[in-house]
Amino acid sequence: MRNQCASRTMAPRWWLLILCLAGNELHGRAQLDSRGFINIDCGLQGEESYVNDETKLVYVSDAGFTNSGTPYNISAENYRPWRSRNVRSLRSFPDGVRNCYTLGSLVSGLKYLFRATFLYGNYDGLNKRPATFDLYIGVNFWMVVNMSWWGLDQDNTATVEAIIVVPRDLVQVCLVNTGGGTPFISGLELRPLKMSLYPQAMVP
Ligand SMILES: *[C@@H]1O[C@H](CO)[C@@H](O)[C@H](O)[C@H]1NC(C)=O
Ligand SMILES: *[C@@H]1O[C@H](CO)[C@@H](O)[C@H](O)[C@H]1NC(C)=O
């Protein structure tokens, strides 16, 4: 596994650009743990949540955070026992240009670490070159996810991170189809970074 990270801190301009948030008022259920963490296992089916053996963090299904897309598991031949359970399933978005996750119950004005994880794992059985698509936080461009950058091997996990001051208690993370294949996402995690409001907050 190659696990590479790219980080980008967004400009304060972000405060002005919250229009995208108005459209979708879907709220996630029971999404915050005691430290204000949000751990979403995209495409998780059959149970609503579980505790990660190693980190003891609770991961929840993404069903309450988005109303589009299709859940998948990675193919059996790409299963690796040592890999985080978070990447065994994913949600793919074959329809529509822009598909979003709505994350609620955030503390407006607080700085958060956003982390998105991707593993193709031949989930569609097509054994094809992994997709490339754009990621947004609200209306702000976050980055291009180009799975080729993490290797043509479908077995590679990609993780991208951004640190952002959220302007509202509701934020959307959106995958935008740019014609490079069907966007998908395996995991989405948020960590509040300001210690004073969450004394035990840590980034594991
Ligand atoms: C993925 O695997 C889990 C556990 O075996 C199963 O409960 C779930 O239904 C599967 N999801 C899909 C989309 O097939
Ligand atoms: C993705 O990366 C590959 C390898 O660097 C490159 O050939 C391709 O043009 C990139 N695609 C996009 C849409 O940026």
Per-residue b/e over 162-199, b at no fewer than 16 CB within 10 Å? bebbbbeebbbbbbbbeebbbbbbbbbbbbbbeeeebe
Q: Which domains are delineated in the chain?
A: 16-196 (2.60.120.430)
Residue owning the nearest CA to atom 8 of ligand 1: 45
The answer to whether 138 touches 17, Cβ cutoff 8 Å, is yes
pLDDT in tens, the chain (204 residues): 333 333 333 433 333 333 323 233 334 444 566 678 999 999 999 989 999 888 889 999 999 999 999 999 999 988 888 888 999 999 999 999 999 999 998 999 999 999 999 999 999 999 887 789 999 999 899 999 988 776 556 678 889 999 999 999 999 999 999 999 999 999 999 999 865 554 454 454
Distance CA 36, CA 46 (A): 25
Ligand nearest to the CA of 61: 1
In this structure, the residues whose C-beta lies within 6 A of any atom of ligand 1 are 45-46, 71-73, 89
What would the two tokens of residue 191 be? 């960590």
